[in-house]
Amino acid sequence: MRKNSLKALLALPMLVSLLSACVEEIDTPNLHEPKMVVNCLLTQDSVQKLWLTYTSKLGNTAYEEVPQAIATLFENDREVGVFNKVAYGEWRMAFTPVRGRTYTLRIQTPNHPDITANTTFPERLPIQRLKPEDKEGRRAFRISKNADPFWACAFAKDQDTIMRTVVIRPYYTMKEDIATDYPKTDQFNMQPAEAERVNTYHYYIRMLPNAVPTTFTLYPLYSSVVSFMAVSEEYDHYLKSSLLKMQAYESFSDPTQWLEENAVYSNIENGVGIFGAYEETLFNCNNILPE
């Protein structure tokens, strides 16, 4: 999971507490019986990370780790490696996934049925920056093809910065309200316009497949870093359901929202959590300086 908690969905190392908090204990006669929580998002990094904890009792924010486990990763049914425990609840493995291939995670622990989950690593998003087509407060982009939903968000910088490798610094601020003229979006988190303001989306925009190529802008953005994520089907479901859950609990003006029944998506067999994959493309956007 960065300064705002919703940012956490972009980076697995900071995801643990948020993911665990989002997981609900359901379909069990004893709500105090702990379940294993699995959090693993495959990325294009050379090291993959896995978190293993147990659900906690209601009101308890401490999560007990899984002390012993054999966590094996398979690529198209071929074993590619085993995760090694490196810290409290954290496991790692040196491995870089291949786009388009299917991965299976199997976790074996004493006195517990095997935990399994599957995901497919997404293809890289074919998107490019179109700075010459920027307008005041609008950052332009072009996508050449897209067969699956993808996600966008942005982070405000305090000043223009030239970056050879684009990164999101810890002190950058995630944009709470972001708008777009992209023709097809999921409006589940759209914020109603006030007065003459345009409709904006809350933190993230879920962008749907559209006729391509497509040129579009995100706004209002000035000196910023823009993130686009190609996601696996599983992570796509998880992101949307997590944001729906967050929106319900953030709606203090309407207490009936607290009674919503949206469950956070999980694809973990014999456990809860998420095993998914994503590839993030970052663009450094400056007002004046080269990018």
pLDDT tens per residue across span 43-76: 999 999 999 999 876 556 667 899 999 999 999 9
Rounded Cα distance between 157 and 55, Å, is: 37
Lowest mean pLDDT among 93-97, 121-125, 246-250: 246-250
Q: Of 44, 264, 238, 274, nearest to 151 (Cα)?
A: 238
Q: What is the rounded average pLDDT for all residues in the chain? A: 86
pTM score of the predicted model = 0.85
pLDDT tens readout for residues 74-109: 999 999 999 999 999 999 999 999 999 999 999 999
Lowest mean pLDDT among 4-13, 178-187, 189-198, 225-234: 4-13
Q: Tell me phi and psi for residue 208, to 5 degrees.
A: -100, 160
Domains of the chain plus CATH, in order, are 5-122+263-276 (2.60.40.10), 127-231+280-285 (no CATH)
pLDDT of residue 7: 44
Work out whether strand 177-180 and strand 139-143 pair parallel, antiparallel, or are unpaired: unpaired
pLDDT of residue 119: 98
pLDDT of residue 191: 86
